[in-house]
Each structure stands twice: as C-alpha cells, then as structure tokens.
Amino acid sequence: MGTQAFRLAAMSAAGFLLISALIVGVLFWQTNTVLTDHVVDELRAEATELGRTLAGADARTVTETVRLRSAVGGAGLYVLWDAAGGRIAGNVAAVPPELAANPTGGGVFRYRPKDTPGVSRLGVGIPVATTSGLSLVIGRDVEDQVALADRIKRTFLWGFGALALAALIAGLWIGRSVLGRIEVINATTSSIMAGDLSRRIPVSGSRDELDTLSESLNAMLDRIEQLMSGLKEVSDNIAHDLKTPLNRLRNSAEAALRDNRGAEAYREGLESTIEKADELIKTFNALLLIARLEAGVVEESAEAFDLGRLVYDVAELYEPVAEEAGLGLEIEAAEGMSIRANRQLVGQAVANMVDNAIKYSARAAEERGPDAQTATAVAVRVTDEGDTAEISVADRGPGIAAEDRERALRRFVRLEKSRTQPGTGLGLSLVAAVARLHNGSVRLEDNDPGLRVVVTLPLVKKRRAAPALA
C-alpha cells in the first residue's frame, strides 16, 4: 500500500468520491428545495384565496368553510381552534402543540389525522387571518416527501460506501498490477546489469504507458547490445589489423639494424617504417573521424552546396586510377540538387565508395581474365528522388551476400577472412557514419554481378534540373 501507484489510485478514488458526494448533495438539495417551494407556493396561494373569502366573515361562516374544505380529502390539512385552544373544525384530530404555542406563525408540526388518530404524521402549515377571533392554519402533509428524502440519503450513503469499497479494491488491484510489472522491469534490469545483455523487458500487449516504456527500453537495450557487440568486434579486428602491421614495423626496424650495408640499409628501413607508420596513422585518423561523426560534432561546419557537382568532381579525380586498372568509369550527376551538409565529409564518403568500387572491380577483373577486364565498369550516379538525393556507386566486383550487407557497414569488418588483401574495413563504415550524421541512410544492393552502394541524403532546395554532367 505504500507504493506510488497505490497512492495515486487512492488519491484519484478520493477525488472521485468527493466530486460524487458534491454532485449528489447538490442534486438532493435542489430536489428537496423544489418540492418544498412547490408546497409553500400552493399553501400561500390557497391562504391568499381563503383570506379573501373569509374577510369580514363571522365565526359560524369560518367554521362552515373549514368543515367543507376538510371534508373534500386530499393532502390539504385544516385546523380551526378558539382562543382557549379547543379544536372547532378541520381534518386534524387535535390542535398540534407547535401551532397552539404560535397560532400566527405556522411552520412544521406533528399531527394526528382525524380518521386515524393513532397515527402521527408530519405536516407544514401557514396561518390564515380571520376577523372572527378564531385561529386557522392550513397545511400540507409532507410525510411522504420526508420519507423520499430519507430514502435518497440512505441510497447515497450506501452508494458512497460501495464506491469507497470499490475504489479501495481498485487501488489495491492497480497498485499490485503496476507494481508487478515494475518488479519484472527491475528483475530484467538486474539481470542485464549482471551481464546478460540478451534479456529484454516483456511487453503485455496492452499498448499502455508501461508497454511504451518497455518498448523504448528494449530499443535502447538493442542499441547497447549492438554497440557492445561492435566494440567487441572492433577489439578483435584491431588485434588482427593493427598487430600485424606493428610487428612488421618492428621487424623492419630490426632487419635494418642487422643489415651490414650500413647507412643505405638504415635509410631503406626508415623509409619502409615511415610507409607502414603512415598506414597506421591513416587507420587511426579514420577511426577518430568516425567517432567524431557518430558524436555529431561537425554540425557547425555544414553548408549548402550542389551535390551533383561535388560528386562529379570527386569521381573525376579517380578516372586515371580506373584507367590504370583497366576499368571504365561512368559518371552521371545532374546539377541543381542542393543539400546542406559538410562538404569535405560527403566528398570523403564518395571517394571511399569510388575507391572501393575500383579496387574490387579490378581484383575481380584480374580473376576473370583479360577478356572480361575491358568490359568491367564502375558507374557513379546522382539522382533526384523527390525530397532526397541518391548517390549510387556500382561495381563489377565479387559483391556482398545479402546476409553480410548489414555487417559490412560496421567498423573493421572485412569479409575476406584471411585478411591478406590490403585494407582496414573502415571505408563503408565511414560512409554509413557520414550518412547518419546528415539524416541520411546507406543501403547495399546486388549489381548482378557486383555491389551497388546507395547513399540517400535529404535535399534542402530543389531547382530546375540542369543537363547531366558527363
């Protein structure tokens, strides 16, 4: 009962009960007021009419009038008495003490009907002035009205009690239900903190706030597990990709020291060491750049520029590289597609895509033989897709199996298990990081044969498309 859920349920129930009590109380008061006003209005109207009738009448006329009216029956009450308090006429068995004590005041009184003097009932009356020296009060029986009011009170009290009991039971049930689900969340988080990152918070399917919270936490846990798996994979890959170059660097230095040629050997050893160190520096620079991209710290350097022109300029730089590898490089990039992004990062991403495409297409061409080499081409295209622009780079290399495409976008992932080919496995991961930074996306498609890498970036302004650059 000390849980926040129970306290909230109890407070809600108390508020509901209070409002219900106020509403029922106002309704009861209004009903009683309407009934009372109706009776009083009837009495006043009859008293006024009877006062005019008896104006100047003697005692005999007053007595006969009261006798005739009381003989009609109905809810009307009439009682006429003299100065000594003796009853003269009317349908009341005896003059009520309340009226005898204040004959000109009227009000609520207990009376006994003339036909059933053993029964006591409740009435309300007002005096009627006469000139005969007699006292006259006319009234109405309100016993049934009072009984109705009592029934309403009892019904309200029973209903109020039932509502209070139902609210207590509902508070207990809500408290236990919510607390049970929270305990499940606590147990799951305890298991996760103990190291079981595969655990997830169960979702009841009710689509309530706790389900929404559970789904958000599960999405966060999926992301954490993905990051932890990526970290483990990065650590494993660093051991493969950096340990070997470092060993080669050290061996190169040792070989130069053992070489009997002296200064010439030292120079060659230092040149080789510098080359290997440059490769390591490039790897670490790529890692740092990806980390900065994922942290989103380059937003302040964004600018608006023509995407088609940028892609064309970057791809054009690789034409000599493609020709040297015996490949054709097709570039199709329309002008007029403006995006807001970091120009250098987008250019680096395009360069990585084209470089990868040339590298793997050239390797596949060598494996297929000289006849297939001339038919191999790398296609770079930029197309307008409405609110977005798509940069696609297609090659004729070995391609990537569908089940490996998502993994290929991670850092240090190299699908070539032997790792005998040059590379660090950071090219596509940097492309993916650049796309994420600019609210874009990357997808890998089958080029049949080869791979097609597609980067989607949002456009900020559309102009009339210019002829394609070629």
CA–CA gap between residue 390 and residue 184 (Å, rounded)? 45
Cα distance between residue 129 and residue 127, in whole Å = 6
DSSP tag of 447: -
Indicate if 299-469 has the same CATH topology as 4-146: no
CB 259 within 8 A of CB 269: yes
Distances (CA, A) of 169 to 9, 162, 174, 176, 433: 10, 10, 9, 11, 54
Q: Do 126 and 45 form a contact (C-beta atoms < 8 A)?
A: no
Q: Which pLDDT does position 456 carry in this prediction?
A: 92
Contact 257, 270 (CB under 8 A): no
The per-residue pLDDT for 465 is: 45
What residues form DSSP beta bridges with 306? Answer: 338
Asked whether 468 and 443 are in contact (CB, 8 A), the reply is no
Q: Which CATH architecture has domain 4-146?
A: 2-Layer Sandwich (3.30)
Distance CA 340, CA 462 (A): 12
The torsion region of residue 57 among left (phi > 0), alpha (psi -120 to 50) and beta comes to beta
User: Is 431 strand, coil or helix?
Assistant: helix
Return the domain boundaries, the chain: 4-146, 200-241, 250-295, 299-469
Is 127 in contact with 105 (CB distance < 8 Å)?
yes
SS (H, E, C) 63-108: HHHHHHHHHCCCCEEEEEECCCCCEEEECECCCCHHHHHCCCCCEE
DSSP 8-state secondary structure symbol assigned to residue 383: E
Strands of the sheet containing 328-334, edge to edge, are: 441-446, 451-458, 388-394, 377-384, 328-334, 468-469
Model pLDDT, residue 325: 83
What averages of pLDDT result for each successive group of 10 residues across the chain (470 residues)? 60 74 77 77 84 84 86 80 84 82 77 81 85 83 82 80 77 72 81 80 78 84 75 62 71 78 78 77 65 56 85 89 86 86 85 88 71 65 89 87 74 48 62 84 86 90 49
Fold classification of 299-469 (topology level): Heat Shock Protein 90 (3.30.565)
pLDDT at residue 464, rounded to an integer: 45
Side-chain-facing half-sphere of 187: CA atoms under 13 Å: 7
